[in-house]
Structure 1
């Protein structure tokens, strides 16, 4: 049950980020260009599962996009708000699909359970 709730929470985060992004006027081309950028962090797995998990988790914490949104808001820089919202949308859809934060044991081991087939 907690995993289902976390997936619902991820879907809600995705929906909220999309709704907010629609109001900041940054354009959907930028959204499409940046939505998968956080997954570049998976390249860390080339150095092994421990470093891979660290890199992936660092790029998939909500604290970083929230910080960018706050900086963008108080600095009146709308593109930063847009980038932060795109990043949040990415994290939200990942969580909704079951791709949680990774454990160092393997890419498949996440805080939402194992991903893929056993």
Structure 2
């Protein structure tokens, strides 16, 4: 073998080992990047799940409060109607006088309207 062959042989050995080392580093970097992406994906998934649970809990609480206030208003209305019936000498019928004005703006006769509550 000639000295030039030894130099080229030495260069060929250093190039493949450097290339192998670079490929090894790139492969490791790829694995770490993949693991990092998996971890971020899991954290995002947990975050979204927690947000959905909180939203469901909030909606359930709002529905419960709405039902409570609807029921409360219903009870108050029943109480006020029953009180009005007890206070009224005619039962639940009340008279409301309406003012009727014709097209010319002249006050017409008053009309009594009977409303049953």
Do these two structures clear the TM 0.5 threshold for a shared fold by scoring above it?
no
Higher Cα Rg, which structure: 2
TM range (shorter): under 0.3
Of structures 1 and 2, the one scoring higher in RCO (CA 8 A, sep 6+) is 1
